Amino acid sequence: MEYDLVVEGRVVLPGSVKDAQVGIRDGRISAVKRQGLRAERTIRAPDSCLVFPGFIDSHVHLREPGWEYKEDIRSGTLAAAHGGVTTVFDMPNNPTPTTSPVALDRKRRLAESKAKVEVRFFAGVTDANLAQLRLMAPSAVGFKAYLARSTGDLVLSNGGLAKAIPEVGATGKPFSLHCEDQAIIDSRASSRSSYADLRPPEAEVASVREVVGMVRKDGGVRANICHVSTAEALRLVEGSGGSGHRVHCEAALHHLFFTRKDLDGNPLLRTNPPLRGESDRVALLEGLVGGSVNSLVTDHAPHTREEKLSEGLAGVPGLDDYGHVVAWLVMRVGVDPLVVSRACSSDPASFFGLPDRGEVAVGRRGDLTVLDLKSPQRVAEGELQTKCGWSPYEGFEFPGGARWTVSGGRVVLDDGQLEV
Ligand code: DOR
Ligand code: ZN
Ligand code: ZN
């Protein structure tokens, strides 16, 4: 047979959506044709489906090593396959943080035997490891710094940030930044009001302003603002171009779907940064459609239900539901599938320097996500792959979700069934 696998249906190609067959051989896309491809196996995606380039989630906390009771590389990547995600980028805030070459190599080795989809790793940046960044660069997809304390307490001071920007710039790797201002958060510490007020919009806005100013002055680093959550921070990103490149930014699915009304009274929905108001949510959706929100991420951050309820830890899982939320964006919000393929695949591939994926095109990896947009489904605990065992989307009905996930030519989700 000419091909190992053919996937046929309505295919989201670069710039257009067409009826096509995608032929995969030896893990790569080797033909995209109207018809006539023959393969060992053909997946015929029904009319209710769209075939996207495999989704790339550039912000995930897989928790291994150290917090395997919350999630491990296997369970987290199974959740990814379940949600239609073929590549995840893992964050460095483990109990032993990924801030040294040794810790980074350890994670890479763990993933080699355990990962069900592709995993790449961020290297963490702190005041203490600036001299090691160049050593970690070849093994890292990018660098990550937290400008305020969050899970793992990995922080970079403002002074450290000024030094880190040229250091990261010199490596050529992107720099993802969790932007919240610690001093503003500390000034709210005594407030007894909602979690949303403990980490207020002003903390994000001040931090994004600081980062945008420093990046513009330096000019040599490609910065990504993580999980932008406020309209005002998005405006700062939009205006950050100046004479050079504007900073890049991502939005998290939960900030597009929920608001602080959902958070008040529900500690399961605590995240850093917190859920915001309806006008912020709408601004993020508009930014997605207009292109100023460059990419979509889950910020999959599993904690057990008990930890959430008794200790108030911040973070929600999201990988299992990536396909659900994208189906909702397309069918209920009216987001164009071409916008989805940009934000969920081609943009993270090009920004983070993975030219072998991100589009359905000859020569790319055989990574495909087939979403069924017309098979309503209610999220239920029993189907989740994440080890934490719960989802913020439980009980919500979505218009559809991921039906086939193909990673490097392997069918890891097959007509809704995971191939473990
Ligand atoms: O909500 C969050 N959870 N925000 C972060 O910055 C970290 C993450 C986690 O790792 O739990
Ligand atoms: Zn963060
Ligand atoms: Zn995160």
Q: Are 4 and 368 in contact (CB under 8 A)?
A: no
**Ligand index nearest the alpha carbon of residue 301:** 1
Q: Are 260 and 277 in contact (CB under 8 A)?
A: yes
| Cα 77 to middle of ligand 1, angstroms | 18
Centre of ligand 1 from the C-alpha of residue 314, in Å = 6
Nearest CA to ligand 1 atom 7: 151
How far is it, in rounded angstroms, from Cα 121 to Cα 89? 5
- By the CB criterion, residues less than 5 angstroms from ion ligand 3 are 299
The confidence score (pLDDT) of residue 63 equals 98
pLDDT digits (tens, 9 = 90+) for 201-260: 999 999 999 999 999 988 889 999 999 999 999 999 999 987 677 899 999 999 999 999
User: Helices marked H in 188-248 — which ranges?
Assistant: 195-198, 201-218, 231-238
Protein residues whose CB sits closer than 6 Å to any atom of ligand 1: 61, 93, 150-151, 178, 271-272, 301, 314-315
Q: Which residues of 172-188 are buried (b: 16+ CB within 10 A; e: fewer)?
A: ebbbbbbbbbbebbeee
Task: Specify the pLDDT at position 243.
Answer: 66
Q: What is the whole-number distance in angstroms between the Cα of residue 125 and the centre of ligand 3?
A: 14
Q: Of 98, 156, 181, 299, which is best to mutate to test ligand 1, by the most ligand atoms within 8 angstroms of its C-beta?
A: 299
Ligand nearest to the CA of 272: 1
> Which ligand is closest to the CA of 151, given by its number?
1
Which domains are seen in the chain, by residue range? 2-51+364-418 (2.30.40.10), 55-351 (3.20.20.140)
- Note the pLDDT of residue 189: 84
**Catalytic, out of 72, 299, 321, 372:** 299
- Kindly give the number of the ligand 1 atom that is closest to the alpha carbon of 316: 1
Tell me, yes or no, if the pTM score tops 0.85.
yes
The atom of ligand 1 lying closest to the CA of 152 is: 10
Give me ligand 1 centre to Cα 306, in Å: 16
pLDDT for the residue numbered 357: 98
- Alpha carbon nearest to ligand 1 atom 2, residue: 315
Counting ligand 1 atoms within 8 A of each CB, the residue from 93, 268, 387 with the most, and so the one to mutate, is: 93
Residue pair 363/313 in contact by the 8 Å Cβ criterion: no
Predicted confidence at residue 194, as pLDDT, reads 86
Walk along the chain (420 residues) in steps of 10 and give the mean pLDDT of each run.
Answer: 95 98 98 97 98 99 98 98 98 98 98 97 98 98 97 94 97 98 92 85 98 91 97 97 85 98 95 98 98 98 97 96 98 98 98 98 98 96 96 98 98 95
Please identify, by atom number, the ligand 1 atom nearest to the C-alpha of residue 93: 10
Q: Which atom of ligand 1 is nearest to the CA of 91?
A: 10
Q: Ligand 1 pocket: which of 98, 181, 271, 300 to mutate (most atoms <8 Å of CB)?
A: 271
The closest-lying atom of ligand 1 relative to the alpha carbon of residue 302 is 11
Cα(150) to ligand 1 centroid in Å equals 6
Residue type, 391: S
Question: CA 337 to CA 17: how far, in whole Å?
Answer: 8
Task: Tell me the best of 61, 204, 311 to mutate to test the pocket of ligand 1, counting ligand atoms within 8 Å of each CB and taking the most.
Answer: 61
Does 72 qualify as catalytic in the annotation?
no
Q: What is the pLDDT of residue 241?
A: 85
**Model pLDDT, residue 136:** 98
Of the candidates 172, 194, 340, 190, the one whose C-alpha atom is nearest the C-alpha of residue 256 is: 340
Distance (angstroms) between ligand 1 centre and the Cα of 149 equals 9
3-state helix/strand/coil string of 48-110: CEEEEECEEEEEECCCCCCCCCCCCHHHHHHHHHHHCEEEEEECCCCCCCCCCHHHHHHHHHH
Tell me the two tokens of residue 322.
């990536």
